Amino acid sequence: MSEEPFLRNHWSVVASNLVRSASIMGAAFLVSFYSGGDGMPREMVAGIFAAFLALMTVAIVIIWKKTKFYFREDEIVVERTTLFRSTTRIQYDRLASVNVEKDVVCRLLGATKLSFNLNSSVNAARAEAYIVLKDPDAEALRTEIASRMFGERRESVQAEPQEETSLVDVSVLDIFLHSFLGMPTPQFVGGMAMLLYSAYSQFTSALSIVAILFFIMDFFLPAVSSFFRLYGYRITRSGDTVRISSGFFSTRQDSFKLSKVNFVKVREPFICRLIGKAILEVEVVGTANSSGVPLLCPLKSKGVAMALFRELLPEFECEAAPSRQKGVAMAGSIFWAASVSAAAWAVCILLSGHVAEGLYMGVLAAFAIAVTAVSIGWAVLSYRERRFSMDGSILMLVVGSYDRTTNYILLDKIQFVEVTAGPILRMHGAARCNVSMLSTAGSASVRSGVFATEVLERLSSEVLARILDGRYDFRRFQ
């Protein structure tokens, strides 16, 4: 194999890995350097850091030098001849996507990272292989591989539709609202509560560092990270291939065939529902995006999101009338809501004997009332919102309470269906079901509400029947 022509990563991969490693090691050693006390002398700490940095540099350079890529007619071969030797083979027809990424170092040095992802759940959130090349070489290679994966006509780099109009007009304000309002409601409410408590503690006593840290780590940093990751969002389509690009500091472009989509999700966090907005996502095995599932439409009006859904994936629409939950579901929701409310009032009663009357008693009462109101709202919404319908080859499951998610699932993409029922549900002829599928993160399951047992069992029977009578055709998804 050594006599064949091969490619090697651009040297920017060495710089990028070195910067990342040095940042982590530097932070750890700076803590030791300024810790003082009876620890090691600062000169020794600096010497250890320099030795580790030199050792890390040598290791990164050796790995870079000993990693070779062979692009054959039918497969990609990645050969590593370091201390632990390995050979990875990836067939073109098994690739799910070729993603284009540029971190800050790559952008400064004019390089592009191509990641190759298989349609597999084993490494679903991690690419099987990647190569870093100069921008023109990377674009030429991506076009060549796309022609083999998707059957696209080979075109020159100049013919790539860089200026193609996005299917959805996404402004900076849309990305800002998506990043700060599109998170789950508990995360948003918790972040706001920590922010208010921090502001309150600043004027009444010592500033609460714990509350500030919770606000920054659980709300502010994820929102800011999402904003810069989705900045400049564009989605384009070329035949059956969808391309999604975004990024402020580091840019990323995902490409996948629509036939690789396993199911579609329309997410509506509670605050977004109040202003008539929704988020459109898809599950595509092999996208290798650790930041989340592929996003077809950031937070926009629900009409815009659904219009894009019907344009790109009309085969996922479900026109059957949805079934409502059995009455026993409401009884179960009321039971849990009553239990949580009773626990909240019990805590308040126990604490009331240890606080003085006045402001703190009012805070305890307000807390118990708020928990009771939220619990009642959860019980009502969890019963009213959850739906089930099946139309031909499509299953629609609506789950959630305050945050509603509508899942459109191809029956042929379902791995298995588990129907479960406890003693009380069996007495009322009701059950729940877990629908398991391959997903971006490897696997995913959607748990339904409480519906008639025969309705849910018909789902598992239909999945098997489609395989037995030949309606399931795997060639549709290649």
What dihedral angle (degrees, nearest 10) is formed by the CA atoms of 458, 464, 465, 470?
Answer: 150
Q: For residues 46 and 352, what is the distance between their CA atoms, to the nearest angstrom?
A: 55
* Residues 257/267, Cβ–Cβ less than 8 Å: no
Residue 176, amino acid: F
Q: Which of 149, 203, 159, 167 is nearest to 313 (CA)?
A: 167
Higher per-residue pLDDT: 10 or 260: 10
Measured CA distances, 466 to 342, 395, 410, 414 (Å): 48, 14, 12, 11
SS3 of residue 161 by DSSP: coil
Strand segments, DSSP code E, in 350-429 are 387-391, 394-400, 404-410, 414-420
Rounded percentage of the chain residues whose pLDDT exceeds 70: 85
- Rounded mean pLDDT, 77-97: 84
pLDDT surpasses 70 at 278 = yes
Q: Which residues contact 360 (CB under 8 A, 6 or more apart)?
A: none
Asked if the model's pLDDT at residue 238 lies above 90, the reply is no
pLDDT of 208 above 90: no
pLDDT of residue 400: 92
Amino acid of residue 312: L
Q: Report the distance separating Cα 139 and Cα 130, nearest Å.
A: 14
Q: How many helices (H) and strands (E) does the chain have?
A: 14, 19
Residues 294-307 have a mean pLDDT of 91
CA atoms within 13 A on the CB side of 264: 25
Predicted TM-score (pTM) of the model is 0.81
Report how far residue 232's alpha carbon sits from residue 163's, in angstroms, rounded to the nearest whole number. Answer: 13
CA distance 355 to 342: 20
